[in-house]
Amino acid sequence: MKIVVLVKHVPEPTATWKFAPDLTVDRAGVEGRLSELDEYAVEQAARLAESGAASEVVFLTVGPAKAAEGLRKALAIGGDKAVHVLDDAIHGSCALGTSLVLAKALEKVGYDLVLTGMASTDAELSVVPQMVADRLGANQATFAGELTVDGGQVSIRRDTDAASERVAVTLPAVVSVTDQTGEARYPAFKAIMAAKKKPIETMSLADLGVAADQVGLGAASVRTVDVSPTPPRTAGTIVTDEGEGGKQLADFLAGRGFI
């Protein structure tokens, strides 16, 4: 079984984020990292390789030159090689455009199982995996809290508000995993050094047979017209409990009509 894990290099969540004049995220001017939620998918792939269920693990990313740092981090956790789709024309693509590029790249790379995180920690859309599955004609199971593979069948647990469900999915399939699947290992120094020797292949839109005008900001189906900082909340009243804290809190809640 060949696994391809889709990964994204995102701005560090605690960094100060800025927007470029075209209202896309300024990725050049901010420290980045492998999206934390993708690490769970990388970890699942590494475990499946260790158990012998996966014969090959490839990491695939779409992004600017710096996105290769995300691939190096994934390769330090596990996997055999990586593919980086790098093309200036992709800048500003909407979810439809991004999913087209990923689907074309997956067709070229080949796959049995595509693993992804539940969302990127920058755009947080949670729709690209399903779009990729639709374009590939592959089966799909999203938001898996647990994942096992048995032959050509993937079994997942998916929790909803109403129930905990078990779902059986036949390969080839796209599966997104949540943070419930288990923390990614912390790569040892030796693994980080070994990752530097693993190959990263770079592909352009032309390599994938995607025309530049099918993707990018110009082709986007959703256009951002304004981005403003959320107004800060006005400072509240802070009291220190000296035995009366519960009563003081009750007074505040009663004043707001909650009691």
Partner 1 sequence: MSEVLVVAETTSSGVRKPTLELLTAARALGEPAAIVFGAADDAVVAALGEYGATKVYAVDAPEVGEFLSLPKAEAVVQIAQQASPVAVLLTSGPEGKDIAARVAVRLGAGVVPDATKVELAGDTVTTTQSVFAGRFQAKSEVTRGPAVVTMRPNATSAEPAAASPSVEAVSVSVSDAAKGAKITSREPKVSTGRPELTDAAVVVAGGRGVGSQEGFAVIERAADALGGAVGASRTVTDQHWAPHELQVGQTGKTVAPSLYVAAGISGAIQHRAGMQSSKTIVVVNKDPKAPIFQIADYGVVGDLHAVLPALVDEVARRKG
Q: Count of alpha carbons within 13 Å of 93, Cβ hemisphere only?
A: 26
Q: How far apart are CA 18 and CA 27, in angstroms?
A: 8
Among 86, 123, 200, 212, binds partner 1 (CB under 8 A): 123
Considering the rule CB under 8 A, would residue 122 count as an interface residue with partner 1? yes
Q: Minimal distance in Å, beta carbon 133 to partner 1? A: 8
Among 13, 29, 110, 152, binds partner 1 (CB under 8 A): 13
Considering the rule CB under 8 A, would residue 120 count as an interface residue with partner 1? no
Considering the rule CB under 8 A, would residue 151 count as an interface residue with partner 1? no
Residue closer to partner 1 by CB (options 167, 206) is: 167
Among 190, 196, 197, 225, binds partner 1 (CB under 8 A): 225
- Residue identified by tokens 């078990």 is 166
Considering the rule CB under 8 A, would residue 246 count as an interface residue with partner 1? yes
Residue closer to partner 1 by CB (options 70, 97) is: 97
Q: How far apart are CA 151 and CA 222, in angstroms?
A: 40
Encoded amino acid at 236, one letter: G
Q: How far apart are CA 129 and CA 140, in angstroms?
A: 8
Interface map 69-108 toward partner 1 (x if CB under 8 A): -------------------------xxx--x---------
Cα torsion angle, 195, 116, 150, 140, sign: negative
Pairing of strands 200-203, 81-85: parallel
Residue closer to partner 1 by CB (options 80, 179) is: 179
Among 7, 34, 37, 115, binds partner 1 (CB under 8 A): 37
Among 115, 169, 203, 210, binds partner 1 (CB under 8 A): 169
Cα distances (angstroms) measured from residue 171 to each of 111, 150, 236? 10, 10, 54
Q: How far apart are CA 254 and CA 34, in angstroms?
A: 46
Considering the rule CB under 8 A, would residue 250 count as an interface residue with partner 1? yes
